[in-house]
Structures are given as structure tokens and as C-alpha cells.
């Protein structure tokens, strides 16, 4: 790609002044439009050392209202970032609708450098590239405009700039040994960058190569692309989905049973329950220890009918664990801020550190359950979500996470019994709301949605487990035994 | 304090089962009440090694609904935390109103250990203690219930527990050399803890010493205190302020001019302005470099009349800076989540890393300006805020931050002129809202509030600067020259 980069017209200071004035005038209007139309925008700058990433960004933001943008400098990972999935620090920084996120370096760093300074293996490279493609596609389908700039300078100009920086005491520290190496091995570095560009020039997020030997013409080129692309995306002529054909990963799916085929007649005597509970909780605590030592992240996701016993099940799991090593995340309706982001954003933010357990009381599957049934998202959105969720969980799996998903099943009569108990017992009354009764009326729609959910998102790395919940004791022991078995198998 | 710790009754397993059942029943009701009355609660556990902090916390949360609490384990600082003020990682974790934050270890860690493992100097100790006292008092005055538990075990029992842990391969790693040292030097360690407890046994956040050789009676004691204190605080008989007499730090205040005495007649020729702008911006970029190298955090706070030119001033500052090293934080009305916390919480979250600059477009002074005048907080709250803000800025100063605060002054005629221009020029129309006109009607109230603000919060470490803003050019150069002079003076 680099050898075919378009020549930019060298422009005079007078022409540049005009380009700047034009950009200023246009952005004054465009940032209002971005806000109004709720367009999220990512501007991403990569490039050779000393190619002027900082200068390009400074020129762009000098013309923007600070309420509309955020600048992120992507450096080496810090201790927390190292304990999280590769995409984590990026996804949580993606812009809200109507906002611009500007990245000085980005996730493409991860294609050029390992975290340890060693060369990436082919497999690592492929893996990371896949993660990046997935993220950019997901954001793009959600309506995000992603503008990727690669700044190119000649070997001679790079050498010249590095020399200038080194001359002055105040800027000498900016020149790293890596920068110098890059200039010495300019050709091989450029070829690595070229491969990266070719591999990641996605139709929904293409690269823009900016020749940057001359700062003014480089700025002018960036100005032009930014305004053009934003204008285009404020009035899109194509559906976003049209942009991303063929970009989906195929997942092999397991075949969980339909809800109607799940037996619910099992019971368990109290004394048996107490014994088994003690047994599994002891086992689980030991495994928690191992999770910590092996630095494994663990994700336990609970979904189920209202009053199916999610709270009780979670309590039996949680009370076995060391409180320092887990968190329970109760998922309520999204806040305003959360609604302004990709719907997976708030779940990325709740991921555990490695060695820790995150328990979700309701999950990202809300998208294909309540949001589907209550029309809180479009049909296109919830249909797309099955694949997005598989991809999300696959990212967690690649990171090393152990993922267990539970659907707590009860039948309609048992639910009614529990609802009535909640109404009748004062200390349980707060647990029952009008919404629960309304949801109950939609039992058939929910059943269909659950069956579709489990059949479309049961993967080998994140399978669904249907818990037989009519008998609370039986269901809790079933949950605990599935968790302990799974962890034992995967922690050896 | 430790030698006077009350004896706890040793309780039988049967009695313990009753205590547990009682706690479970009470918390089921209390957590609903906490929510309803919007009481924020902090439960903090400190104690000797192997004293059972984890077990106490596990027993408490086993009885809580996960929607109501969060557990935080306070370990050594990670790379980001080391670059932030001492209180930062704690203040951002303080609970929302109606929530319980449980700390396994806490800010008291910082009184027992330095970040480098060396012994704290007397001055460091005093400084940290003062920070802690301030934070606990601020939270307490804001209505937060702070329950501090110190778990005490005997030397013999500690030795026994450490030995048990070491016996098993699966738990051996939990015993650190520090733990063993603590057992060997039990007495001197206990005396250090005792001093800490005495120094931080504040009337608004007293310590509860829990003898923990026997786990069951220790749990029962915690249960009792938690329920009692929550019940007490749900129906407080005293005003929170009554609890904190004498706990305020005295600040020496500078004497900034009254607004009416600020001259506004200066002007500046365009060519002079251009030359000076280039001069100061160049200087500022060099200083930014120094800030980065010296790892100094810098905070620039902008307040001013509507249309006084905050945006334009900030732009002239920001466009001189390296975009990798600063962020502009535009402050709008607080979100729901922000309203559920102490009003300074959202500003703690926006602090820069060391070596970075945070520019605030409107600030925490909203409390004593718009919130005062629009009755968005009580009179007691905004009156208390002057001191709270001084304390907040003092914390930043102790951390090493350079703080500059600007009030952009214009007169009423100039404001009218600018409002009218905004109405008449289409590209500027979005900048003017009905609210601006309403605020204008309250000019005298605002003038009084601003004068009170500058006179009560101008400290040597965070002085106010009143910018003569009637002439935009003059005001911008004045701002830039104040910033560059101040930075030059403090970075040498």
C-alpha cells in the first residue's frame, strides 16, 4: 500500500492558511451535526517515528470544541492493562455517540510490538489482527466512523527530524533507541508497516496514508479527509451492514436442549443438600485459590426467569469464595452514558482482572431477551447480537478466561407459586414488581427468545448450562457441581 | 486503645447460628432502608496478618444482596495509582448514596507502609494522617456512615494460623515474609497499630476493635455493630456537622480584588497580540516538556461569566501544548451517578496523571456559584464547600500539583454585546441559550458569590487570578503570561 500512496500537492503557506480557515469553519458546523446525529467518531494516528502524529493531532484539535473530543495516547500497557484482555483498554475508550475519540497510536501498536519486546509469532499476529478486525467491524456496524491515518515520512526526513530533536537538551529524551533503530532499518520497518496496513485495510475502516515530509500539506490532507468523511457519514446512503459482508467469524455451535425438554421433577432432601453444599463449597474455595495462582480470569453469567433463583444460586457460589477475589455485577437497565455507547461497552468495563472471578446477575444477553422483546433495540440489532456476543466471548476465551453461562429454568406454575409467596411474605415483597407480572404474560415470547439464544450462542468455549430450578436445592447443587467440574477440568 | 479493647463473649455454635439468622433478617430490611434513605456506607477492615479480615467480610456479604455492595481489596499501588494523589484511589471508590463499599485493607495501609517499603518519616505520617482525617470528615459530613473495624488476634493464635496456612501446599503462598516478621515482632507491630488507631479514632468515624481469636464471636460482634450503627444512622438524631467540630484545617487566605475594582479598559493591537501569542505559546510548549520530565501534575481551572471567553482562552492555551500530555475537561451538570456521590467525586475522577495537564472548563466551584444561586444544594452545603475545596486543592498541592485558577471578568455591557453577536451570527447561535439570559438577570447575586468565592479560596498554593477579559486579546495574553510565569517559577 505504501508504495502506491497518493502524492500530495505541496502547498504554500498562503494555501495552507486558507485550508486551515476552511477546516475551522467546517468543523464548527460539523461538530454540532455530529452531536445532533449522534455519530461516534474515531480518529486514529499511526506512523513512523517522528512522522508528526502529535502535530497532526494538535492541528485537528486546535479547531475542535473540547466538549466534543478526547485524546488518548496509547503507550506500553501498565500493570492493570496487562491483566486484562488485549482489546480491553481500547474498547472502554471508544467514543460515545456524538463524540470524537482521537488515538495517538492505537491497537495497531499491538501488531507491531509484543508486550515483552519479542517478535510476535505468526499465530499471535493472526490472533491480534482478528481481534482488531472484530472490534472495528462491531463499532462500525454500530454506526461509528473510524478514520485511520498512517503517517509516512522518508528515511532522510526521519533522520533529519531525529537529529533535530537530539540537538536540543529539552527534546533529546524524546528520541529512543527504538526510533534510531527504525531509521537504520527503515526499509524493513516500512515493509512490516506495509504488511500491517494491507492486512487491516478493511472496507468499513480503510487506511489513509498521509505523506508527512511536509507538515503543512500533511495537515491539509488530514483536514480534507476528516471533513469529507464526516460529511459522508452524517448522511449515509448505505446501511452500515452493507459495508461488512464476509467479515464475520464462523463459530461451531453446540446443541443445548429446548426449554420444554428440560426435566424439572428432581428434588433433594434437606440433609443431602446441606452435605453436598458443604462439599462443593469447600471444593470451590480450593479452586478459587488455584484460579488466583494460575492467574485465570473466570466469568460466571446468570440468566433465568424472574424468581427462578438467580440471587439464591449466586449467593451459594459467592459465599464459598474469598471476597478479595470476586465481584458480583448486578445488571440493571443501562444508564444514559451506557446507552450512548456500543451495548457491549458496559460489560467490557466490568470484566475481572486475571486471577479473579466476575459473577454477572443478568448479562449482555439482555440484548436478545428483554431488549428484543420490549423493542428496546431494532430487529437488525438483536439479530446481529448473537454473533457479536460469540465474538465478545471468544475474545475473552483468547485472553484465557473460563466462561460458564447458566439459564435458570423453572416452569410457569412454579413461577406463579413464588410470585404469590413474595406477595404474601412482607419481607419478600420488595422483590416483586409490576414488571415481573408483565414479563410473565410474555412467557411464550421469552421462551422462544431463550431457545434461540442458547442455540445460537452455545460455543465450546462458552457453553450454556440449563439449570433445573423448580427445586431450589437441586438447582443450586447442580450449578455448584457444574462450576467445580468445569474449573477442575480446566485448571489442571 | 488495644489494651482496653472490650472482651467479647465467647459464643457457642448454637448462639452463633441465632446471631447469623438475626443478622440475615435485619440486613434484608436494612439494605432496603439504606437504599430508600440514600445512606452511603463504608465498612473498612484492617487488622493483623491472619486475623480473619477475609472471613469477616465473607460472612457479612453472604447476607447482602449483591446489588447493594462492592468489595475492594487494597493492595500495593499499581503504576497508575502511583502517579496519582494518595487519596485518589480511595475517593473514587467511595460508595454512592444507598450503597455499601467494603474495604479489605484501606487507606490505613498508607499509615503502616510506605510505597517503597521504607519506614515513613514523621512528616509523611502526619501528612497522610491529615489527608485521611480530611477525607473521612468530608464523607461523614456528606452523610456517609464509616464503620472501621480493627481485627486483633493474639501472638499465639497468629502463629498457629500462619503455621496452618503454611502446612498446606495450596495455601502456603498466602504467608509472606512480612507476615512472619509481624509474628516475630508482634509487640512492636501491635504498638504501631495502636498508635495508628489512637491517631485516627475520630468522633465521626471511630474504630471498633474486634478480638478475633475466635471467628464466631468475632463475626457476631461485627454483625451487631453493623446493624446497630446502620439503624442509628438511618434515623440520625444529630446533624452531621455536630460530629465534626474542631476537625477543620485553617488556611491562610490571600486577598484578591473585588470584581468591581478590576480594571477592564486595557486593549491590545492585533499585531502586538500575534507576536505575544507566538512568544508565550512557544514558551508554554517548552514548559510542557519540563512538566512531563519533572513528572509534575498541573491543573488549570477556568471560571467566568457566560461569554467571557473561557473557550477562546482555553483554546489558546491548549493549542500550544502537546496533545499527548493534556486533557480538557468540560464540566456540565452532574449525571445521575455523579449526583449520588460526594460532589467532589467527579473531579477526583478527572485528575491528571503526574506529568500531565488537566484543563477544567468550569470546575468544582460550581458548588458555590450556580449550585448556590439556583438552590441546587443547601445553604449548609455551599457554605461548607469553601473549606472542602481548600482541602481538596491542598491535597493536590501535597501531591505536587501546580494549580492555577482563573476568573474571566467582563462587564455587563460587554456581555450584552457578545450575547447579541451570538444571536446575530448563525454560526455562533448554538452558543447562546435561554439559560444564559436567565443567568444574566442574576448578575448581582453572581457577583456577590464570585467575590465570596475568590476571597475564601485564594490560597498560596492555589491562588485565583482575575483576567481582564473585556478585550479578548488582552485577556488571552494575560492568561498565558500568568501560566508561563507561574510554571517557570515552580519548575526550576
Q: Which residues on chain A are in Cβ contact (under 8 Å) with B66?
A: 311, 314, 318, 328-330, 359, 361
The x, y and z cell numbers of residue B333, run together, are: 451538570
Across chain B, mean pLDDT equals 93
Residues of B in contact with A318 (CB under 8 A): 61-62, 66
The gap from C-alpha B131 to its chain's centroid, in whole angstroms, comes to 10
Q: Cβ atoms within 10 A of the Cβ of B469, count? A: 29
Residue B455, pLDDT above cutoff 70: yes
* Average pLDDT of span B431-449: 93
Separation of alpha carbons B302 and B314, rounded Å: 8
Residue A65 at interface with chain B, using a CB cutoff of 8 Å:
yes
Q: Does A359 touch chain B (CB under 8 A)?
A: yes
3-class SS string, chain B: CHHHCCCCCCCCHHHHHHHHHHHHHHHHHHHHHHHHCCCCEEEEEEECCCCCHHHHHHHHHCCCCHHHEEEEECCCCCHHHHCCCCCHHHHCCCCCCCCEEEEECCCCHHHHCCCCCCCCCHHHHHHHHHHHHHHHHHHHHCCCEEEEEEEECCHHHHHHHHHHHHHCHHHHCCCCHHHHHHHHCHHHHHHHHHHHHHHCCECCECEEEEECCCHHHHHHHHHHHHHHHHHHHHCCCCCHHHHHCCCCCCCCECCCCCHHHCCCCCCCCHHHHHHHHHHHHHHHHHHHHHHHHCCCCEEEEEEECCCCCHHHHHHHHHCCCCHHHEEEEECCCCCHHHHCCCCCHHHHCCCCCCCCEEEEECCHHHHHCHHHHCCCCCHHHHHHHHHHHHHHHHHHHHHCCEEEEEEEECCHHHHHHHHHHHHHCHHHHHHCCHHHHHHHHCHHHHHHHHHHHHHHCCECCECEEEEECCCHHHHHHHHHHHHHHHHHHHHC
A209 to chain B, minimum CA–CA distance in Å? Answer: 21
Give B389 to chain A, closest Cα distance, Å: 24
Nearest CA in chain A to B65: A311
Please identify among residues 90-119 of chain A the ones whose CB lies closer than 8 Å to any CB of chain B.
102, 104
The residue with greater pLDDT, B18 or B246, is: B18
pLDDT recorded at residue A451: 98
CB contact under 8 A, A289 and B361: no
Buried-state track B200-215, b at ≥16 Cβ within 10 A, e below 16: bebebbebbbbbbbbe
Please tell me the predicted confidence (pLDDT) of residue B282: 95
Give chain A's residues under pLDDT 50: 242
Average pLDDT value over all residues in chain A: 93
Residues 173-232 of B with CB under 8 A from A: 173
What is the least distance, in Å, from the CA of B429 to any CA of chain A? 11
pLDDT of A362: 97
State which H helix or E strand residue A191 sits in.
Answer: helix A186-199
For residue B96, what pLDDT is reported? Answer: 96
The residue of chain B with its CA nearest to that of A431 is: B32
Q: Which of residues 410-429 of A touch B (CB under 8 A)?
A: 427
Residue B465, pLDDT > 80, answer yes
Whether the CB-CB separation of B101 and B43 falls below 8 Å is answered with yes
Q: Characterize the bridge pairing of strands B298-304 and B402-409.
A: parallel
pLDDT of the residue at A237: 61
d(CA B355, CA B295): 4
Share above pLDDT 70 across residues of chain B, in percent, rounded to a whole number: 97
Rg of chain B taking only CA atoms, in angstroms: 26
Quick: pLDDT tens for B4-31: 777 777 889 999 999 999 999 999 899 9
Chain A CB contacts of B32 under 8 Å are 430
pLDDT given for residue B425 in this prediction: 85
Any bridge partners for residue A409, and if so which? A468
pLDDT tens-place string over residues B94-125: 999 999 999 999 999 999 876 666 788 999 99
- Asked whether residue B379 carries a pLDDT value surpassing 50, the answer given is yes
Say yes or no: B322 contacts chain A, CB-CB below 8 A: yes
Q: Which residues in chain B have Cβ-Cβ distances shorter than 8 Å to A79? A: 78-80
Q: Which residue of A has its CA nearest to B174?
A: A289
Angle at A264 between CA A261 and CA A268, to 5 degrees: 150
Contacts for B417 with CB less than 8 Å, ≥ 6 apart: none
> Measured between alpha carbons, how far is B296 from B137 in angstroms, rounded to an integer?
28
Separation of alpha carbons B318 and B285, rounded Å: 10
- Which residues of chain A does B43 touch, with a Cβ-Cβ cutoff of 8 Å? none
pLDDT given for residue A154 in this prediction:
95
Which residue in B24, B62, B302, B323 has the most chain A C-beta atoms within 10 A of its own C-beta, making it the best mutation to test that interface? B323
The tens digit of pLDDT for each residue in A59-118 reads 999 888 888 899 999 998 998 999 999 999 999 999 999 999 999 999 999 998 766 667
Q: Which is nearest to A285 in space by CA: A352, A350, A353, A357?
A: A357
User: B104, A324: Cβ pair inside 8 Å?
Assistant: yes
Q: What is the grid cell recorded at B215?
A: 471467628
Q: Which chain B residues have a beta carbon less than 8 Å from that of A100?
A: none
Model pTM?
0.87
Residue B174 binned pLDDT confidence (cut-offs 50, 70, 90): confident
Residue B39 has pLDDT above 80, yes or no: yes
Q: How many CA atoms lie within 13 A of B268 on its CB side?
A: 20
CA–CA separation, A291 and A268 (whole Å): 30
* B79 interaction partners in chain A (CB closer than 8 Å): 78-80
Tell me: pLDDT of B200 over 90.
Answer: yes
Tell me whether 0.95 is exceeded by the ipTM.
no
The owner of cell 478514520 is A147
Q: Do B62 and A286 touch (CB under 8 A)?
A: no
Q: Provide mean pLDDT across the span B290-303.
A: 96
Specify the pLDDT at position A143: 93
Q: What average pLDDT does the segment B45-59 reach?
A: 94
How far is A62 from chain B, CA to nearest CA, in Å?
5
Residue B231 has, within 13 A of its CA and on its CB side, a CA count of 11
pLDDT value at residue A242: 41
pLDDT, one tens digit per residue, over A238-269 is 555 545 555 788 899 999 999 999 999 999 99
Amino acid at each position: 500500500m505504501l508504495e502506491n500512496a497518493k502524492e500530495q500537492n505541496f502547498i504554500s503557506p498562503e494555501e495552507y492558511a486558507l485550508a486551515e480557515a476552511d477546516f475551522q469553519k467546517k468543523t464548527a458546523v460539523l461538530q454540532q451535526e455530529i452531536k445532533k446525529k449522534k455519530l461516534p467518531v474515531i480518529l486514529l494516528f499511526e506512523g513512523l517515528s517522528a512522522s508528526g502524529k502529535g502535530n497532526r493531532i494538535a492541528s485537528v484539535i486546535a479547531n475542535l470544541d473540547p466538549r466534543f473530543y478526547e485524546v488518548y495516547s496509547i503507550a506500553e500497557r501498565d500493570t492493570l492493562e496487562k491483566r486484562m484482555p488485549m482489546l480491553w483498554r481500547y474498547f472502554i475508550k471508544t467514543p460515545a455517540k456524538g463524540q470524537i475519540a482521537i488515538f495517538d497510536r492505537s491497537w495497531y501498536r499491538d501488531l507491531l510490538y509484543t508486550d515483552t519486546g519479542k517478535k510476535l509469532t505468526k499465530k499471535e499476529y493472526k490472533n491480534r489482527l482478528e481481534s482488531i478486525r472484530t472490534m472495528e467491524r462491531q463499532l462500525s456496524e454500530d454506526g461509528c466512523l473510524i478514520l485511520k491515518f498512517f503517517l509516512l515520512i522518508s528515511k532522510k526526513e526521519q533522520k533529519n527530524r531525529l537529529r533535530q530533536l537530539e540537538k536540543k537538551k529539552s527534546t533529546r529524551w524524546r528520541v529512543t533507541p527504538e526510533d534510531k533503530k527504525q531509521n537504520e532499518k527503515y526499509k524493513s520497518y516500512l515493509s512490516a508497516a506495509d504488511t500491517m496496513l494491507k492486512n487491516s485495510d478493511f472496507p468499513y475502516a480503510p487506511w489513509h496514508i498521509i505523506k508527512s515530509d511536509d507538515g503543512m500539506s500533511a495537515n491539509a490532507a488530514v483536514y480534507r479527509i476528516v471533513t469529507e468523511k464526516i460529511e459522508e457519514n452524517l448522511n449515509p446512503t448505505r446501511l452500515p451492514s452493507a459495508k461488512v459482508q464476509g467479515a464475520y467469524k464462523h463459530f461451531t455451535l453446540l446443541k443445548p436442549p429446548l426449554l420444554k425438554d428440560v426435566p424439572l421433577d428432581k428434588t433433594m432432601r434437606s440433609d443431602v443438600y446441606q452435605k453436598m453444599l458443604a462439599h462443593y463449597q469447600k471444593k470451590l474455595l480450593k479452586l478459587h485459590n488455584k484460579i488466583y495462582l494460575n492467574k485465570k480470569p473466570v466469568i460466571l453469567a446468570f440468566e433465568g426467569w424472574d424468581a427462578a433463583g438467580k440471587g439464591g444460586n449466586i449467593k451459594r457460589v459467592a459465599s464459598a469464595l474469598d471476597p478479595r477475589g470476586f465481584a458480583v455485577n448486578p445488571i440493571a437497565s443501562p444508564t444514559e452514558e451506557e446507552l450512548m455507547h456500543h451495548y457491549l461497552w458496559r460489560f467490557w468495563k466490568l470484566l475481572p482482572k486475571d486471577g479473579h472471578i466476575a459473577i454477572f446477575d443478568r448479562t449482555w444477553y439482555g440484548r436478545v431477551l428483554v431488549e428484543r422483546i420490549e423493542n428496546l433495540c431494532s430487529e437488525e440489532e438483536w439479530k446481529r447480537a448473537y454473533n457479536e456476543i460469540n465474538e465478545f466471548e471468544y475474545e475473552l476465551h483468547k485472553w484465557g478466561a473460563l466462561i460458564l453461562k447458566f439459564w435458570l429454568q423453572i416452569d410457569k406454575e412454579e413461577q406463579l407459586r413464588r410470585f404469590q409467596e413474595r406477595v404474601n411474605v412482607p419481607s419478600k415483597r420488595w422483590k416483586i414488581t409490576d414488571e415481573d407480572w408483565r414479563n410473565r404474560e410474555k412467557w411464550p415470547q421469552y421462551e422462544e427468545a431463550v431457545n434461540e439464544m442458547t442455540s445460537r450462542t452455545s460455543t465450546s468455549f462458552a457453553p450454556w448450562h440449563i439449570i433445573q430450578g423448580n427445586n431450589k436445592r437441586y438447582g443450586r447443587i447442580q450449578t455448584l457441581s457444574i462450576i467445580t467440574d468445569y474449573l477442575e477440568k480446566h485448571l489442571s
